[in-house]
């Protein structure tokens, strides 16, 4: 049940879902470190309410004891996790909200373990409005020991945070959820 060491949280992936999540983390009093990608508008808006912009994944990894990822795909996610684990202090926590395949999250977990870091998958249910309103759902795959830290960190963003089992289970549950949503549509 190791909690995060300090209130300094990195957030990588300030896009459609990430911007609302980051906004809610700032409202909850977190010291939030972000970086811009191609679209500067979300980062500028977050800076106006207290976020601190850093220029790279390396800088965020060196500054923060916890980092939330909300990236567009598994290949970017794998590369980002490798960069973080090469630069973050041992014991650091990565909460990965990217919608990944099960193989990616298993590889990320192994990479983190080799660097004495903690990895949690937490793909999201909901959309842009739920992100803004702090009403997302988090489908969590992690060890029981890490779940309390995940709940504490994601609670400003999510009104439902459920552990589905160890790493790999959340990716599978998200896939089923997506199939059900597409079938309903």
Active site residues per annotation: 174
DSSP 10: E
CA-CA-CA-CA torsion sign (118, 121, 19, 75): positive
Measured in degrees and rounded to the nearest 5, phi and psi for residue 138 equal -115, 125
Q: Give the H/E segment covering residue 33.
A: strand 31-34
Phi-psi region at 88: left, alpha or beta (left = phi > 0; alpha = psi -120 to 50): beta
Tokens, residue 72 = 């567009």
Cα torsion 95, 100, 106, 111 to 10°: value is -60
- Looking only at the bridges linking them, the beta strands covering 8-12 and 31-34 are parallel
């Amino acid at each position: 049940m190791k909690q995060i060491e300090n209130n300094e949280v990195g957030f990588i992936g300030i896009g459609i879902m990430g911007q609302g999540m980051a906004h809610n983390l700032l409202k909850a009093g977190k010291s939030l470190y972000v970086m811009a990608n191609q679209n500067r508008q979300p980062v500028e808006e977050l800076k106006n309410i207290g976020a601190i912009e850093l220029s790279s994944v390396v800088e965020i990894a060196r500054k923060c004891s916890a980092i939330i990822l909300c990236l567009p795909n598994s290949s970017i996610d794998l590369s980002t996790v490798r960069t973080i684990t090469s630069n973050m202090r041992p014991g650091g926590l990565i909460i990965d909200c990217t919608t990944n395949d099960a193989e990616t999250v298993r590889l990320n977990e192994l990479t983190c373990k080799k660097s004495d870091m903690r990895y949690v998958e937490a793909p999201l249910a909901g959309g842009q409005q739920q992100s803004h309103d702090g009403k997302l759902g988090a489908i969590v795959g992690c060890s029981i020991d890490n779940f309390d830290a995940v709940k504490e960190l994601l609670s400003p963003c999510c009104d439902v945070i459920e552990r589905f089992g160890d790493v790999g289970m959340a990716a599978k549950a998200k896939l089923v959820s997506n199939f059900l949503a597409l079938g309903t549509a």
